[in-house]
């Protein structure tokens, strides 16, 4: 596009930009519209092809989604929210901390560690999933107190248990804590930190007598806000949509949304209902959109503020 705008007057460039942007927006938004249309159609109608106008089965589909204890969507939304919010929080907080360690301090082996993290960034998660599940299985065999020590989060575990009230939420630990070691998030924050966090600021804080932890939490973290918001969205969405690993871990635990949707999709002819599936998807993407809109304010408006020139 840019080549075609070479040397063009600003007005022509603007027109091209608007046309392209509108086309792209349509391409991005049409899916939401189609989702809405399909969630208002009966199974028989959806099976007979694409439609661009809504039908009259919206209420029926909502009723069908709500009246199905075998696929508890509302509870699933809450479960997914817990996993995604905690995973994203752990991921961005500890990744910033890791990036901070590399960026601010000079210590022996620093370059080696940085290289190492970059290397492990390339390992696909699926490659270790077999061993991961076997490892969890091993840990499950140990008694619960040992599990909580291993996961390093005794108190957290108890909170989850008490929240559960009958449901077994202990396995959620396996979905949340691995977020702490997120090399990709770390790498982005490290890159951003180089331009956004001048070391002189840290120095100044030290002179004021601030402890290292306080400097990190109260001075550095806020400066990183736009970058953290970006990565928080990425982590939240990735976790919200994650299916592969949770489907193997949450065998006897309350299910998250993608697993419930897969259950609906794999129902056989007796229970298979495309209208209900699309309605469930329609309901399921709502929370993510809300979280995104909240955080995106931070990105869209915040990037300029955050881009302190190094």
Partner 1 sequence: MKKFGKVVATAMSATMLAGMLAGCGGATEAKYEYVPTMSNDGKVLNVYAWNTEFIERFTAYYPGYEAANADDVTAGGKIGDVTVKFTIVPSDDNAYQDNLDQHLAKQADADADDKIDLFLVEADYALKYVDNNNTLAMADLGVDTMGDQYQYTKDVVTDRYGNVKGSSWQGCPGALIYSAEIAEAVLGTSDPAEVQAYVKDWTTFQSTAATVAESGYLMTATANDTYRVFSNNVTSKWVVDGKINVDENIKTWVEMSKAMVDAGQTGTDDLWSPAWSAGFAADGNVFCYFGPAWLIDFCMNAHSEDDADYGTSRADNGDWRVTAGPQGFYWGGTWVCAANGTDNADLVGDIIKTMTTDDDVLAKIIEEKNDFVNDSALIQKYSTDANFGSKILGGQNPLPIFADKLSSVDLSNITGYDQGCNEEFQKAMKGYFDGNYATYDDALKAFYQAVTTKYPAVKAPK
Partner 2 sequence: MAANDKKSTNNKRAVNYNKWGYIFLIPFFVAFILYNLIPLGMTVYYSFFEKYFDAGTGTWSSVQFVGFSNYIKLFYDGYEFDPRIFKYLLNTIIMWVLGFIPQIVVSLVLAQWFSDNRLKIRGSRFFKTVIYLPNLIMASAFAMLFSALFDKTGPISSLLFDKLHWINAALDFTKSVGLARFLVAFMNFLMWFGNTTILLMAGIMGIDESLYEAAEVDGANSIQRFTRITLPLLKPILIYVVITSLIGGIQMYDVPQILTNGSGDPVTKTTTLIMYLNQILVSKNYGVGGALSVILFLITGGLSLVVYNFMYSKKSKEKS
Residues that bind partner 1 (CB under 8 A): 41-42, 44-45, 47-49, 55-57, 63, 67-70, 129-130, 133-134, 137, 243-244, 247-248, 251, 262-263, 265-272, 274
The alpha-helical segments, DSSP class H, found in the chain are 10-38, 43-47, 58-66, 73-104, 110-120, 125-141, 144-150, 154-164, 173-176, 183-196, 199-207, 212-214, 221-223, 225-240, 244-249, 257-265, 274-306
> Which lies closer to partner 2 via its Cβ, residue 27 or residue 162?
27
Which residues touch 115 (CB under 8 Å, ≥6 apart)? none
Rounded to an integer, what distance in angstroms lies between the CA atom of residue 91 and that of residue 235? Answer: 7
Residue from 67, 70, 162, 200 that binds partner 2 (CB under 8 A)?
A: 200
- Which entry of partner 1, partner 2, none binds 269, CB below 5 to 8 A by partner kind? partner 1
Please identify, among the stretches 69-77, 107-115, 140-148, 160-168, the one whose residues bind partner 2 according to the rule CB under 8 A. 107-115
The yes or no reply on residue 163 touching partner 2 (CB under 8 A) is no
- For CA atoms 164, 146, 151, 103, the dihedral sign is positive
Shortest spacing between CB 271 and partner 1, in angstroms: 5
Coil, strand, or helix at residue 49?
coil
Please identify, among the stretches 71-79, 81-89, 119-127, 162-170, the one whose residues bind partner 2 according to the rule CB under 8 A. 119-127
Would you say 227 and 189 are in contact if contact means Cβ atoms under 8 Å apart? yes
Q: Which two three-digit tokens encode residue 53?
A: 């106008």
- For CA atoms 97, 112, 132, 130, the dihedral sign is positive
The yes or no reply on residue 258 touching partner 2 (CB under 8 A) is yes
The yes or no reply on residue 12 touching partner 2 (CB under 8 A) is no
Residue from 147, 164, 177, 267 that binds partner 2 (CB under 8 A)?
A: 177
The yes or no reply on residue 120 touching partner 2 (CB under 8 A) is yes
> Which lies closer to partner 2 via its Cβ, residue 15 or residue 159?
15
> Which lies closer to partner 1 via its Cβ, residue 75 or residue 248?
248
């Amino acid at each position: 596009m840019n080549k075609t705008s070479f040397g063009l007057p600003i007005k022509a460039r603007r027109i091209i930009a608007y046309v392209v942007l509108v086309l792209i927006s349509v391409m991005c938004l049409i899916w939401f519209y189609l989702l809405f249309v399909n969630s208002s159609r009966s199974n028989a109608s959806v099976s007979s092809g694409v439609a661009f106008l809504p039908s009259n089965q919206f209420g029926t589909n909502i009723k069908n989604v709500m009246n199905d204890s075998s696929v508890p969507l509302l509870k699933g939304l809450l479960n997914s929210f817990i996993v995604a919010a905690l995973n994203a929080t752990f991921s961005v907080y500890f990744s910033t901390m890791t990036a901070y360690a590399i960026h601010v301090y000079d210590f022996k082996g620093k370059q080696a560690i940085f290289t190492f993290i970059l290397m492990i960034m390339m390992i696909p998660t699926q490659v270790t999933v077999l061993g991961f599940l076997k490892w969890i299985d091993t840990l499950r065999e140990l008694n619960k107190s040992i599990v909580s020590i291993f996961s390093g989060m005794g108190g957290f575990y108890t909170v989850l248990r008490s929240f559960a009230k009958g449901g077994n939420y202990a396995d959620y630990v396996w979905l949340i804590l691995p977020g702490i070691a997120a090399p990709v998030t770390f790498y982005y924050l490290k890159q951003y930190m180089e331009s956004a966090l001048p070391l002189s600021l840290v120095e100044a804080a030290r002179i004021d007598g601030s402890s290292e932890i306080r400097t990190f939490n109260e001075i550095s973290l806020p400066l990183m806000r736009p970058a953290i918001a970006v990565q928080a969205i990425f982590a939240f969405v990735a976790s919200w949509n994650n299916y592969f690993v949770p489907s193997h871990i949450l065998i006897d635990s309350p299910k998250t949304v993608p697993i419930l949707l897969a259950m609906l999709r794999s129902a056989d002819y007796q229970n298979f209902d495309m209208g209900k599936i699309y309605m469930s998807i329609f309901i399921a993407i709502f929370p993510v959109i809300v979280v995104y809109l909240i955080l995106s304010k931070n990105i869209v408006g915040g990037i300029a503020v955050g881009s302190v020139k190094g």
